[in-house]
Amino acid sequence: MPLGRRVSKDVAEPYEADQRLAAEYEDRLAAAGAAERALRDAQGADTPESELRALTVAFDRAMTDVLAAAEAAERVAMGPQVYSVETQDAKTRRAAEIAYRKAKARPNVRPWTDEVDRLRTAREAHRLSYRTRPTAIA
């Protein structure tokens, strides 16, 4: 008999899904790095605009994928008590919200929170700063 808290079946499924997604973090981060290198190399070369656009979209998707994996790893580090589903009563959902905020302050969760913030900032900076079309016609 395992020791520890029992987790409801409704909460166990998303928790296990997050564990699987968090395990892919390193691979997704490497894919995002490769997509960024391909984009930067294409920017340095004389690459047609259509290819640059495709590389830009591929890099954005890779950043979104790695961000999802980092968020999943953060939730996994917080533990199953922070998960809530719509079928639970309001008291249980509120307890999960409180546990989520408390878990954000734990030392084992903080590196993941910082990584999520870093990745989100990098993705938004990419979305806001890179244009595939010139802003002025020469």
pLDDT digits (tens, 9 = 90+) for 98-120: 999 999 999 999 999 999 999 99
Percent of the chain surpassing pLDDT 70: 89
The model's pLDDT over 39-56, given as tens digits with 9 standing for 90+, comes to: 999 988 988 888 988 999
Number of separate domains in the chain:
1
Residue 137 lies inside a defined structural domain of this protein: no
Residue 4 lies inside a defined structural domain of this protein: no
Ranges of residues in the chain whose predicted pLDDT is under 50? 1, 138
Residue 14 lies inside a defined structural domain of this protein: yes
Domain limits for position 71:
10-129
Percent of the chain surpassing pLDDT 90: 66
Residue 113 lies inside a defined structural domain of this protein: yes
81-85 long-range CB contacts below 8 Å, 24 or more apart? 81/5, 83/11, 83/14, 83/15, 84/11, 85/10, 85/11, 85/14
